[in-house]
Amino acid sequence: MRTSSALRLALIASTAAITLPTAALAQAPADNAEGNIIVTGLKRQYFGDTPVKEIPQAVQFLEGTLLNDLNITRLDTALELASGVSKQNNFGGLWDSFAIRGFAGDENFPSGFLVNGFNGGRGYAGPRDASNVERIEVLKGPNSALFGRGEPGGTINIVSKKPTFKEGGSFTVAGGKWNTYRVEGDYNMPLGDSVAIRLTGAVEDAESFRDTVETRKYVLNPSILAKLSDKTIFTYELEYVNQEVPFDRGVVAIPTVTATGTTYNLGAIPQSRFLSNPNDGPIKITALGHQAQLQHDLSDDWVVMLGAGYKDTTFEGFSSDPELALSRQRIDNDGRTLSRQRRYRDYSTTHMVFRGEISGKLETGSIVHNIRVGGDWDKFEIELLQNRYRPTAADQSYSIDIFNPNYNIPVPTADKYSVIQNSTEVQKAWGIYAQDQIEITEQFKVRFGGRYDDFSQNIDNRLGTTNPASYTKFSPMAGLVFEPTKSLSFYASYGKGFRPNSGVDVNNNPFAPEVSTSYEVGAKFVTPDGRITSTLSLYKMKKSNVLTADLLTGLSVAVGEAKSQGVEFDINAKLPAGFELFATYAYTDAGWADDYASAGVLKNDPLLNIPKHQANALLFKNFSIGDHEAMLGAGVNHVGKRLGQTAADFYLPSYTIAKILGSVTINDQFKLSANVDNLFDKKYYASSYAALWVQPGVPRSFTIRGTFTF
């Protein structure tokens, strides 16, 4: 019997209340993002103080205030606002997966992103919660010359909330459709003139439009900032995540095999239909991470930053997945019987990283050098255990009728499982880098940089023998910026990069790393008062040793070379009469560079889940109702047609969905807000791994939030 909604909400509220001292309820609010920098003395970590218009690449910032206004609580939802970022297979809703400018990385692991300049996306920590996000920085193009291993399409850096020397915070209670309840807390307190602490957290309990699917999540992020001297600042923050959610492969597109090929019927069953086994229970995810950083000002122009991070993650539970090999699948015979496998996964990761950097300005005559030199070392260990029950083609005892599902089918006994994964993978890497942005004149700047990486991979595959592998790579970059006026700048850039591929092929050999090359040109516009900012960029990229899914074996296969080219446009404008506009557009042409018969891929076939056209627009109106500040807004999101399965003629249809939102400030401390997503209840499909693993989009939903600021 499920706990009643009222009781569940009470439990959530009481849990969150533990994280917030009640004595603080009458204090002043915390500072904003700019105030944090001023109050604490912290500099932008590992990015420097170069103005955005002088950076030779496209950059987008998604501020935490915008995410709050839109009631965005997860990273993957926030990234829908960024141009050129598209959703990928999210492993049953259990991790973040996205592509930037058409390139998505390894489908078997979460997408990489940074947290305060550290690689925070590695491991099984579940979808990233937004409760501790100050802002999200989307840095387009290859950044290997600075950060090393990563996708050529771009880098996502999450800047977390930092302590300030002003006491205050906020407490938010939200409720929405499908018995969704969420509580967030944020409390900041100085301990004298040199030490401050901050505690953020969130508790969420939610059902879903998906039958039998329920999520429980606990997130806690305490942090401390200490001014050791006028020139030295130390910060430490902890990340704790505990999440439980069933493994959900989504809905199916019913295949029909004919002499002329295969057709797919997408939409034959309700979006809500759950095709796994509720008796599997939830997948349990835990994460415990630490970050410590030391900033020391050597002078007014030079600063040293040292950092260390450590993170453990675990991923454990059962899933019942549709069989992807048509030779074992029966739904193509009768259009209703879905053959399934059952899997048990026990995954864990440990990640340790150390980083150091010195940066500053150096003048040689009239020329100014903005120099950045650093190095890092990291060790990433992955433990993988997977058992699978895979019935023969003749055994349909674990199949499910997609039109009349029976959720009481007995689960297979322990003796019917076989071990298909049992390995330990250890990745070790170190790298050194240098970058110089040279101000030749006030209008003309050039940037040169490079990074040397040494990477080793050792896979202990207990089901076979695997040879260790090691690589060295040099990743150069160059860029230039021309500013004919204070408001307008033109830029061009070139870069190379690489990203190691985890795991082994069907012969137990490690995959070679992906290697990429990228070119980009663009223009940036910023009005003198900063009320309008805009970027137009054109790019062309290619990368080799790309992995894709082999549906026959269920493993990955190295296919070869992929390419991507496109155009992106972003604008953020504060308009007259209290209006604000946020709009993006991306054209992405991403596909395979050649024929790869072994994977069924042909030259110019599109890459999985990459729309050619993608756009987003938000319009806000700020106004007053008497003494109360208010806001009304509306938005629209368009995602074009996308390939839904590699080496198949299966596409997800395009969709356009709308939202409305609003808020009103009741008094100086209380704000009430609400939003409706998918306003017109559009039926759509968000992403796909294969025709039998399709993630449906969320129907019309609403959320109401009350925020108390103190």
Token couple for 206: 């939610």
As beta bridge partners, residue 263 has: 256
- Quick one: pLDDT band at residue 36, thresholds 50, 70, 90? very low
Cα–Cα distance, 156 to 136 (Å, whole number) = 7
Cα–Cα distance, 115 to 123 (Å, whole number) = 13
Q: Tell me, what's the pLDDT at 480? A: 96
Q: Is the pLDDT of residue 10 over 70?
A: no
As beta bridge partners, residue 265 has: 254
First to last CA, the chain: 38
Please give the residue that has the higher pLDDT: either 10 or 427.
Answer: 427
Among residues 689, 704, 548, which one has the least CA distance to residue 93? 689
Q: Is 86 left (phi over 0), alpha (psi -120 to 50) or beta?
A: beta
Cα–Cα distance, 548 to 564 (Å, whole number) = 16
For the stretch 517-546, pLDDT in tens is 999 999 999 999 999 999 999 999 999 888
Q: Tell me, what's the pLDDT at 41? A: 73
Q: Is 322 left (phi over 0), alpha (psi -120 to 50) or beta?
A: beta
Q: Is the pLDDT of residue 25 over 90?
A: no
Q: Is the pLDDT of residue 692 over 70?
A: yes
Lowest mean pLDDT among 139-143, 295-299, 567-571, 658-662: 139-143
Query: Quick one: average pLDDT of 91-107?
Result: 86
For the stretch 541-574, pLDDT in tens is 999 888 776 655 656 777 789 999 999 999 999 9
Token couple for 451: 């990074």
- Quick one: pLDDT band at residue 319, thresholds 50, 70, 90? very high
> Who contacts 639 (Cβ-Cβ below 8 Å, separation ≥6)?
86, 611, 614, 654, 655, 656, 684
Cα–Cα distance, 400 to 336 (Å, whole number) = 8
For the stretch 423-467, pLDDT in tens is 999 999 999 999 999 999 999 999 999 999 999 999 898 887 777
- Quick one: pLDDT band at residue 47, thresholds 50, 70, 90? low
pTM for the full predicted model: 0.90
How many other CB atoms are found less than 10 A from the CB of residue 52?
16
Using a pLDDT cut of 90, give the percent of the chain over it.
74
Token couple for 304: 């040293």
Q: Is the pLDDT of residue 39 over 70?
A: no
Phi, psi of 683 (to 5 degrees): -85, 120
Look at strands 655-665 and 670-677 and give their pairing: antiparallel
Phi, psi of 641 (to 5 degrees): -60, 140
Our CA dihedral for 554, 152, 42, 439, rounded to 10 degrees, sits at 170
Cα–Cα distance, 50 to 35 (Å, whole number) = 19
Please give the residue that has the higher pLDDT: either 43 or 569.
Answer: 569
| Concatenated DSSP letters of 323-377 | ---TTT--HHHHSSEE-EEEEEEEEEEEEEEEEEEEEEEEEETTEEEEEEEEEEE
Cα–Cα distance, 709 to 706 (Å, whole number) = 10
Cβ-in-10-Å burial (0-12, 13-18, 19+) of 472 comes to exposed
Cβ-in-10-Å burial (0-12, 13-18, 19+) of 203 comes to buried
Q: Tell me, what's the pLDDT at 552? A: 59
Contact, 655 vs 638, CB < 8 A?
A: yes
Q: Is the pLDDT of residue 21 over 60?
A: no
